[in-house]
Amino acid sequence: MTDSPTRRTILLAAGATGAAALTAGCGEYGGDKDSSSSNASPGQELAKTADIPVGGGKIFKDEEIVVTQPKQGEFKGFSNICTHAQCPVASVSDGTINCTCHGSKFNITDGSVAHPPATRPLPEKKITVRGDSISLA
């Protein structure tokens, strides 16, 4: 009698391999990266207020932050790492911060989820506005 694998064993192994590949694919964007870590220094200037459009925002990839201006003169800071699969967000448009990895969208006013699959809001990042300068707090 030969100890060849059963059909069930082959299917289970294939499923495990697929799950591992899926997890590894998401991991290339940062995996379980701690969203509180950053490459930025407190007090570092990010932009001038004129650089951030009203109703929109700007992504600062190296500093791992998105700065938005929901209303004239109101500026907000959020992590640029999507809470769904830790991909970096790709754009800010039409009142949302957008992740193109899986389609999640977040409101520019408070980072809340506007469109799943993300279920958690973007973490807030503290910024300071002095005159026409926006800096990390």
pLDDT in 10s for each residue of the chain, 137 residues: 556 666 555 555 555 444 443 333 333 334 334 434 456 688 889 999 999 999 999 999 999 999 999 999 999 999 999 999 999 999 999 999 999 999 999 999 999 999 999 999 999 999 999 999 999 99
**Residue 131 is part of a domain; what is its CATH number?**
2.102.10.10
Question: What's residue 42's pLDDT?
Answer: 85
The pTM assigned to this predicted structure is 0.72
| pLDDT of the residue at 26 | 39
Domain range for 86 is 1-137
Number of domains composing the chain: 1
In degrees rounded to 5, what are phi and psi of residue 23? -65, -40
DSSP string, 68-119: EEEETTEEEEEESB-TTT-PBP-EEETTEEE-TTT--EEETTT--EEESS--
**Which pLDDT score, from 0 to 100, does residue 41 have?**
82
